[in-house]
Structure 1
Amino acid sequence: MRRLLLILRREYLAYLLTPGFFIALVTLPLVLGVTAVLPSLLSRHTPAPKVAILDLTGIGAEGPGRYLEAKIREGRTRNLPQEQAAVLAPPPPGLVGVRTPQEAAERIQAFYREQDPDANPPIILVLAGGADAVEARLWTPRARLIDLSGSLEDDLSEWSRDRRMTALGLSEADIRQVFEAGIDVQTYSPESRTGRVTLTDRLPQLAALGVSYLLVTLILAGSGMILTSVVEEKSSRVIEVLVTSAHPAELLLGKVLGVLCLFLTVLGVLAGVGVLAAGQLPAGLIREAAGAIFNNGLLGWATLFLVFGFLLYGSIFAGLAAFCETPREAQSLATPLSLLMLVPLILVVSALQAPDSPVIRAAALFPPFTPFLMLLRIADGAPAWEVATGLALMAATTAGAIWIGVQAYRTGALTQGPPRLLAILRHTLGRKA
């Protein structure tokens, strides 16, 4: 046990005392903050798209062109993805006197060719046809610009519906009543404290979803660090000395637990930053978020599954890496396991919509997926027997993974040459190659 703790301390401090760790620890909250603020900054400093409307329908003041112009001026048209409303611009002078869409197309192309690409020329909407069949063509200086066609199409469809209803004898007030006569469907459940289902009721599942993604990320990153550490020791022959100085189980568990403690340190720092940031939020929102995290012991379950996941995947990664002398060899063996860990990322989305699905319930009991999917089942109120079964299977599988990893680590440390899967299996099962 003493040697295990010494190895754990060595692995932990080996990462903790590196300058890169402190740099990452400082920059990570900054990156998260910039990521949160950046979309708003981009929307503020990105020029709003300019839209010029050329109406060739001949309908006049009641035409679609005037309708769109009024909506854009009043800011009633749909917003862009960057939350920047379009700005109305006059048509280029070269389009004066144009009568057909074909003539307009030729002059628009000539206009764009003369423009500086950085001059932010307007997007030009050409409307043609009659009242019953309006043809709309949207011209942009570059094909990769934000597509406004969906937004303008909705506005034009609204104009067309209003015109047809007016033709049927409905007044503007009648048309407004028709569109405002929606039905609000409200969701209720006996599990909700207030009866009506709100965001507060869904917060536990949303929190479990976020924690599940976090666990996958942490375990993948930690397993990669363990993989790299073992390969470096194998390539420098240090691993041979370590195997003769301590039991392989102590070496393997020391490495895995050392990296686990490192990630728990990072999570502790981020949690402290989160608590300080939460002080700027409304008290009600803080209580709801805290209730979602601590509801059903979600934080404790997440820590438990993080430990199980690290031991399970870290032991297997360390055992495989012991047979490898180069990072390329290690990555080729570890890729299938990494891909296996991506499957829960796909399943958690389905679990959020249908946590009681037989597929999700079965997958949550499959030990390699249990750390990631059982959290969503717990947040949904999974029965105690199901959680206990998942934990028992997870514990048994983790113990088996540690045993396999130790056997592979012991044999791989003294094996030379490129790794072969069949040879690894024979060595791990205790047979001679």
Structure 2
Amino acid sequence: MIETIRAAFVIARRDFTAIIFSKSFFFFLLGPLFPLIIGIAAGGLGQQVRQDIDRPVIGVALEEAQAAKLADARAALSESLGNNAIPELLVLDGVAPNDPDIRARLDTASKPLTAIISGSLEAPLLTGSERDVKRWSGKVALLSETALAGSNPVAVKTDFVAATGSSKKRTQIATAQGGQIILILLTMILAGMVLSNLVEEKTNKIIEILAAAIPMDAIFLGKLFAMLGMALVGITVWSTLGFVGVSVVAEGIPDLPAPAVGWPLFCVLMVLYFSMAYLLLGSLFLGIGAMATTVREVQTLSMPVTMGQLLVFFLAAFTVTKLGEPVEWFAVVFPFSSPFAMIARAAQMDNIWQHGLALIWQAMFTLIIIRFSVLLFRRNVMKSGNSARKKSLLARIRG
């Protein structure tokens, strides 16, 4: 094992140095300027996610008779205006209309609440974040007027709080979506370098020379981590330029919605999950390179993998608003979607231990794919070399 690690380090240092100090590396750094269309396309899926997270639930802390009238008014208005135009109502059991601790009820209900109606139908008080209260105060006034069946307009009093569980959830989901899009863009831009490097060395017969002196497991590991190091260098350059550009244009870095685990740990997890997504896809590309003998075969075999990676990303993006549901658990357990699903969890859940388990699982699956790729390489490349030597010996006998 130690010898394999040493050999892998030698291969990684060789490939990393050759790539970083090549002239083409500069043009590689310009790569993110072109595939931005992928991020725009992914925004279409985000529209569906926004529809899931923007369904408001307003708590009702009124007397039982008035709460029933308000529910009837909502049912009547939903028929005429549409169900999505009127917020969902949730009657809060055990909460008095004049409860002095009404703010604390926002985050203790059975569902995440956008706001709470208290007081009375004649003088409703809407408690919530400033954004939500301003957005829904008109609809609350309409509900109260419909429930009272009167012609007099109802004035809604407002009570703003810093943030509610609902608004906090929206910002965390936005952070999760951003993290997933960054991961898929970087992975698709950078992972193909592994495949092109392996095919080039197969064509030049360099890989067979290395295989005669170093175990194939070490060669594949070395190449994979060399490409990962190169990718991290590129990301560091892009991130630095991006922060400098944003600071200059916006006169400082704007405040972004904080993820559940906090920004420092979230950034560390972004690097780790990118590394695992890159290693998983890169190891799969190594297996493709082991089977392919020409550039045309590489293009034919790599296209389904690339499309499959997009499908995996769409699966993980679809489950952002479905934490704990079976489809979300499947995205977490399935190795190729696991990095994207777990970065979404990091934005919305603060329990850190699950990330350790996920990283170990992804690393184990990467080693399994690398081992399988090595077997494919030995069967296709090394076997072809043995066949050539046998044919040469047979020709000598005939001669």
The TM-score with structure 1 as length reference comes to 0.53
Render the CA deviation track for 1:99-134: whole Å, top value 9, x for unaligned. Answer: xxxxxxxxxxxxxxxxxxxxxxxxxxxxxxxxxxxx
- Cα deviation for residue 370 of structure 1 reads 0.4
Does residue 1:194 correspond to 2:163, yes or no?
A: yes
- Cα deviation for residue 329 of structure 1 reads 1.4
Whole-Å separation in 2 of the counterparts to 1:327 and 1:31: 22
Bigger helix fraction: 2
Bigger-Rg structure (1/2): 1
Does residue 1:7 correspond to 2:11, yes or no?
A: yes
Does residue 1:22 correspond to 2:15, yes or no?
A: no
Count of aligned pairs: 264
Q: Report if aligned partners of 1:207, 1:292 keep a CA contact under 8 Å in 2.
A: no
Q: Report if aligned partners of 1:322, 1:409 keep a CA contact under 8 Å in 2.
A: yes
Q: Report if aligned partners of 1:366, 1:390 keep a CA contact under 8 Å in 2.
A: no
Q: Report if aligned partners of 1:226, 1:314 keep a CA contact under 8 Å in 2.
A: yes
Whole-Å separation in 1 of the counterparts to 2:140 and 2:377: 62
Q: Report if aligned partners of 2:224, 2:279 keep a CA contact under 8 Å in 1.
A: yes
**Correspondence for 2:300:** 332
- Cα deviation for residue 241 of structure 1 reads 0.7
Q: What does 1:53-202 align with in structure 2 at a 5 Å threshold? A: 182-183=138-139, 194-195=163-164, 197-198=166-167, 202=170
- Cα deviation for residue 253 of structure 1 reads 1.1
Equivalent position SS for 1:207: helix
**Correspondence for 1:115:** none
- Cα deviation for residue 10 of structure 1 reads 2.1
- Cα deviation for residue 205 of structure 1 reads 2.8
Q: Report if aligned partners of 1:208, 1:379 keep a CA contact under 8 Å in 2.
A: yes
Q: Report if aligned partners of 1:204, 1:295 keep a CA contact under 8 Å in 2.
A: no
Counterpart residue type for residue 404 of structure 1: F
Whole-Å separation in 2 of the counterparts to 1:389 and 1:15: 33
Q: Report if aligned partners of 2:315, 2:337 keep a CA contact under 8 Å in 1.
A: no
Render the CA deviation track for 1:45-96: whole Å, top value 9, x for unaligned. Answer: xxxxxxxxxxxxxxxxxxxxxxxxxxxxxxxxxxxxxxxxxxxxxxxxxxxx
Counterpart residue type for residue 264 of structure 1: L
Render the CA deviation track for 1:162-187: whole Å, top value 9, x for unaligned. Answer: xxxxxxxxxxxxxxxxxx994279xx
Q: Report if aligned partners of 1:322, 1:408 keep a CA contact under 8 Å in 2.
A: yes
**Correspondence for 1:259:** 227
- Cα deviation for residue 303 of structure 1 reads 1.3
- Which residue, out of 228, 232, 245, partners 2:213? 245
Does residue 1:322 correspond to 2:290, yes or no?
A: yes
Counterpart residue type for residue 410 of structure 1: R
Structure 2 vs 1, CA of residues 400 and 279 (structure 1 numbering), >3 Å: closer, same or farther?
A: same
Render the CA deviation track for 1:283-309: whole Å, top value 9, x for unaligned. Answer: 6x6233577894372211121122222
**Correspondence for 1:412:** 380
CA RMSD of aligned residues (A): 3.4
Render the CA deviation track for 1:221-262: whole Å, top value 9, x for unaligned. Answer: 333211111112222222211111211112111111111111
Whole-Å separation in 1 of the counterparts to 2:368 and 2:165: 46
Does residue 1:236 correspond to 2:204, yes or no?
A: yes
Q: What does 1:415-426 align with in structure 2 at a 5 Å threshold? A: 415-416=383-384
Render the CA deviation track for 1:290-349: whole Å, top value 9, x for unaligned. Answer: 778943722111211222222222122113312321012123333332222112332243
Equivalent position SS for 2:320: helix
**Correspondence for 1:137:** none
**Correspondence for 1:427:** none
Which structure exhibits the higher relative contact order, with contacts defined as CA atoms closer than 8 Å and separated by 6 or more residues? 2
- Cα deviation for residue 277 of structure 1 reads 2.5
Equivalent position SS for 1:287: coil
Render the CA deviation track for 1:162-218: whole Å, top value 9, x for unaligned. Answer: xxxxxxxxxxxxxxxxxx994279xxxxxx9622644x6534332332222222233
Q: Report if aligned partners of 1:12, 1:261 keep a CA contact under 8 Å in 2.
A: yes
Whole-Å separation in 2 of the counterparts to 1:234 and 1:324: 9
Whole-Å separation in 2 of the counterparts to 1:27 and 1:229: 17
Counterpart residue type for residue 337 of structure 1: V
Structure 2 vs 1, CA of residues 337 and 2 (structure 1 numbering), >3 Å: closer, same or farther?
A: same
Counterpart residue type for residue 273 of structure 1: L
The TM-score with structure 2 as length reference comes to 0.57
Consecutive unaligned residues in structure 2, runs of 5 or more: 41-135, 142-160, 386-399
- Cα deviation for residue 381 of structure 1 reads 0.8
Structure 2 vs 1, CA of residues 364 and 388 (structure 1 numbering), >3 Å: closer, same or farther?
A: same
Whole-Å separation in 2 of the counterparts to 1:193 and 1:328: 58
Structure 2 vs 1, CA of residues 30 and 332 (structure 1 numbering), >3 Å: closer, same or farther?
A: closer
Structure 2 vs 1, CA of residues 222 and 272 (structure 1 numbering), >3 Å: closer, same or farther?
A: closer
- Which residue, out of 247, 251, 254, partners 1:279? 247
- Which residue, out of 367, 379, 394, partners 2:335? 367
Consecutive unaligned residues in structure 1, runs of 5 or more: 37-179, 186-191, 418-433
Equivalent position SS for 1:279: helix
Structure 2 vs 1, CA of residues 223 and 28 (structure 1 numbering), >3 Å: closer, same or farther?
A: closer
